[in-house]
Amino acid sequence: CCSMDLKFSIKHLHDFEDDLKVLLESVRVKDVNDISKSTLKSVNKEPLVEHTVKMAKLLKFSHELLRSAAADLDSLKCEQLQNQSRLIRVQEDLDVKKSVQLDSVQKTVDDKLSTWSSVVAKNSEKKVTQKEMKKAVKLAIKEQ
């Protein structure tokens, strides 16, 4: 799916533009849209034949470049989709690992709070609830 044949390049486009410029100069026009039967009639037959042959080659070359560019784009799209799929899988794995870690931390905190709560309850006249213990732990963490 994702093999690229890099025939297409900016250099090819510049070469094409240079060849087109030479053609336009030879028929004495500034833009391709200005080429008409009358502008072509003013050119001698031999240069016109040379330019026609060159233009046919340019058209073939540009067609091949467009085909190559289209194939490269398809390949890049395919590669992007594969990368997005990989990224989604990695994000899902990360979410699962985070969830497992959070569950582990929550269990540890709950266990420690229960232990601390029992220790405080044994050593205190006033019964400390788990909620009060959580509040005290959060306050201690903020102070650090």
Cα–Cα distance between 9 and 61 in angstroms, integer? Answer: 12
Asked if pLDDT for residue 128 goes beyond 70, the answer is no
For the chain, give the mean pLDDT: 82
Asked whether the predicted pLDDT for residue 9 surpasses 80, the reply is: no
pLDDT at 77: 96
Distance from C-alpha of 44 to C-alpha of 47, rounded to nearest angstrom? 6
Asked if 20 and 87 count as a contact pair (C-beta separation under 8 A), the reply is no
pLDDT value, residue 1: 55
Tens digit of pLDDT for each residue in 67-90? 888 998 999 999 999 999 999 999
User: Does the structure show a pLDDT above 70 at 5?
Assistant: no
Task: Please state the pTM of the whole predicted model.
Answer: 0.47
Structural contact between residues 41 and 117, judged by C-beta atoms closer than 8 angstroms: no
- Please tell me what DSSP assigns to residue 3: -
Specify the range with the lowest mean pLDDT, choosing from 1-5, 7-11, 110-114, 140-144. 1-5
